[in-house]
Amino acid sequence: MSLERNLTPKEQREYNEWLAEMQETVRLQPIAQETETQKTKRIARLKTDFTKFCRYYFEDFMDADFGWFHKKGVKLIVDNEDIMFVGEWPREHAKSVVMDIFLPMYLKALGKLTGVVLSSANENKADGLLADLQEQLMFNERYKADYGPQYKSGKWDTGHFVTNDGIGFWAFGRGQSPRGVREAALRPNLIITDDIDDAEICKNEKRVQEATDWVLGDLYGCAPTKGSRFVVIGNRIHKRSILAHIVGDVEEGDPKKETITHLKVYALENPRTHEMDLSEKGVPAWKERYTRQQILTKMENMGRRLALRELFHQHIVIGRIFREEHLPWADLPPIQNCEKLITYCDPSYKETKKNDFKAIALIGKNGKYFDIYKVFCRQCTTPEMVRGHYDLAEEVPENKTCPHWMEANFIQDIHLKKYDEEAELRGYSIAIRGDKRKKPEKTERIEDLSAYAERGLIRFNRVEKHSPDMQELRNQFLGFPDAEHDDGPDAVEGGVYKLNKPSIGKKTTARSGKYKHNSARRG
């Protein structure tokens, strides 16, 4: 079945120019002088060793030996005819060459290929990947000498071509429909998704989820149920990227999907565990090609933030107002020693787990510092938020005054009812105060916090460094004002404003009930 589109006259001229260029530029590899018996033995021998296979047929590409992860990844895919393989490899670590060219042609030589679908972030990128594969099948003289002429019909820039043995090759950009893909009776049993993410789509969680559904539904669905190899390769450019959703560990602590085979590689690693190692002991994962100094120079030229993203799969949101150095982790004074304490709640308008964040901050005033001891910052329902508010209240010793504030326009019957229900369960209540301040525009209010942050006066509890809620709050600060959410910083702004008022902390306690010991009460 052909899904190719017709070329315009301009595209046809460009394709003809490409053909001429490839015929001139692809190095004609000398063919060994050997008997048919020698040839047969050599071909059989090369089929048993992927590394030797590639050295012989793709010597122009092989400027270094394969790394451990190339060998392991290919072996996992070749040895398992039903596999969903996800390779998170750094930039410039031969993801596309190995998986998009070497692997398909190796499987074809082994007689294990019935068709290939290549996909990427857009149609042009996918067509480009297909062009590289078509180039080798058309002009690789050694491969043709051993396996016969390969190309039959079709053009990469139409998204489809066919080889002489009836195997189809297709290219699809993200979101294009691959439904119905087959060549005669053969459905493609090798689906490769290469660099499916881009920076723009990662800004929109809904679009990321739609794209993830496309990969796992439309694209994976075009492969046969029995006997298909599904390969996803790329580097994690955002914590909530498409690749991250495919793996499953989007948030800290989320489990990986049990059905995938995941191979994550860092540019510098512990050679025994293959975990990321940025210390002086870290060595290149692809030591066969790079020296440690070459990796360090690359990192220095890129800058640490971009290097962490491109080489170590760590995305750091950066905004125009708050910087990492503005948000210091600190060993905070014991909470009972705070001059003033407050919890401030920004419950958001949306009653779902997919929209705004519900944020509550427990903040203490210590001299000139505004210390964030603990936060609740989640996309959740109102009952979950209320439980979180009570949990924060229980961090406060009974002999400390800690008013609990919420924006007045949010204090509605539905919120108060949920607080009353939680009070019945816990045996005490917290008194919610309504903040009736006529607030300036949100962006302006949050931006005003930068005056404190730039002086290091807003500190984060080091004990909470691995808390997902605290990490989310920091990410929202770092991404402000460009990030999608700012409910956490908004709650902090409300608390800081109240702590600056002379009355805060001088009234009777707003919490009653039995004091519960909690080891997290100390900074």
Tell me: do 393 and 261 sit in the same domain.
no
- Residue 337 sits in the same domain as residue 257: no
| Whole-number pLDDT of residue 324 | 85
Q: What mean pLDDT is predicted for residues 338-362?
A: 82
Q: Given this model, what pLDDT does residue 514 score?
A: 37
215: DSSP letter: I
* 194 and 332 part of one domain: no
Last residue in a domain, options 265, 285, 310: 265
Percentage of the chain beyond pLDDT 70 is 86
pLDDT of residue 519: 40
Residues 351 and 229 placed together within one structural domain of the fold: no
Domain shared by 335 and 231, yes or no: no
User: Rounded CA gap, 234 and 237, in Å?
Assistant: 9
Q: How many CB atoms lie within 10 A of CB 338?
A: 26
Instruction: Identify whether residues 329 and 244 lie together within a single domain.
Output: no
Instruction: Check residues 299 and 246 and name the one with the higher pLDDT.
Output: 246
Question: What is the Cα–Cα distance from 239 to 141, expressed in whole angstroms?
Answer: 43
Lowest mean pLDDT, pick from 56-65, 145-154, 226-235, 243-252: 145-154
User: Which of the listed residues 239, 265, 291 is the one where a domain comes to its end?
Assistant: 265
* 339 in the same domain as 244: no
Across 207-219, average pLDDT: 96
Residue 80 one-letter amino acid: N
Question: Does residue 274 form part of some domain?
Answer: no
CATH number at residue 173: 3.40.50.300
Q: How far apart are CA 376 and CA 271, in angstroms?
A: 38
pLDDT average, residue stretch 452-473:
91
In a domain, 295, yes or no: no
CB neighbourhood size of 316 (10 A): 14
pLDDT, tens only, 40-72: 999 999 999 999 999 999 998 999 999 999 999
pLDDT computed for residue 517 by the predictor: 40
Locus of tokens 């009972």? 336
CATH of the domain at 456: 3.30.420.240
Indicate whether 296 belongs to any domain. Answer: no
Query: 250: which 2 tokens?
Result: 């989007």
Tell me 430's DSSP state.
Answer: B
Q: Of the candidates 231, 265, 299, which is a domain's last residue? A: 265
Q: CB–CB of 460/327 below 8 Å? A: yes
Residues 225 and 138 in one domain: yes
- State the average pLDDT for the chain: 87
460 vs 475, more confident: 460
Whole-angstrom Cα distance, residue 187 to residue 168?
A: 8
* pLDDT higher at 15 or 199: 199
Using one digit for the tens of pLDDT, what is the confidence trace for 256-291? 999 999 999 999 999 999 999 988 899 999 999 999
> 3-state SS of 495-515?
HHHHHCCCCCCCCCCCECCCC
338 Cβ neighbours under 8 A, 6+ residues apart:
364, 365, 366, 371, 400
Asked if residue 509 has pLDDT above 60, the reply is no
pLDDT 10s digits, 69-93 = 999 999 999 999 999 999 999 999 9
pLDDT tens digits, one per residue of 8-38: 666 666 656 555 555 555 555 667 788 999 9
Residues 374 and 454 in one domain: yes
Tens digit of pLDDT for each residue in 405-451? 998 776 666 678 899 999 999 999 999 999 988 888 889 999 999 99
At residue 233, the 3 state secondary structure works out as strand
**What pLDDT is recorded for position 439?**
85
What average pLDDT score do residues 319-337 get? 91
Please tell me the predicted confidence (pLDDT) of residue 350.
55
Residues 232 and 348 in one domain: no
Can you list the positions of beta strands (E) in 158-309? 160-163, 168-173, 190-194, 229-234, 261-264, 268-269, 283-284
Q: Is the pLDDT of residue 368 over 50?
A: yes
Q: How far apart are alpha carbons 49 and 51 in whole angstroms?
A: 6
Task: Please report whether residue 4 resides in a domain.
Answer: no
Looking up tokens 């290549």 gives 118
- 8 Å CB contact between 85 and 229: yes
Count of C-beta atoms within a 10 Å radius of residue 349: 8
DSSP 76: H
Strand order in the sheet with 369-378: 329-330, 458-461, 369-378, 358-366, 340-346, 404-407, 432-435
Looking at the structure, tell me whether residues 257 and 353 fall in a common domain: no
Neighbours of 80 (CB within 10 A): 12
CA separation (Å) from 194 to 53, 85, 125, 242, 296?
23, 12, 9, 12, 26
CA distances (Å), 394 to each of 123, 353, 401, 428, 474, in order? 54, 25, 12, 11, 23
Q: How many domains does the chain have?
A: 2
239 vs 458 pLDDT, higher one: 458
451 inside domain:
yes
Same domain, 331 and 236: no
Please identify which residue in the block is written with the tokens 């004074």.
Answer: 333
Domain that holds residue 452: 324-500
272 part of a folded domain = no
Enter the DSSP assignment of 369.
E
Residue 299 in domain: no
Asked if the structure places residue 135 within a domain, the reply is: yes
Helices (H), 195-239: 205-213, 220-221
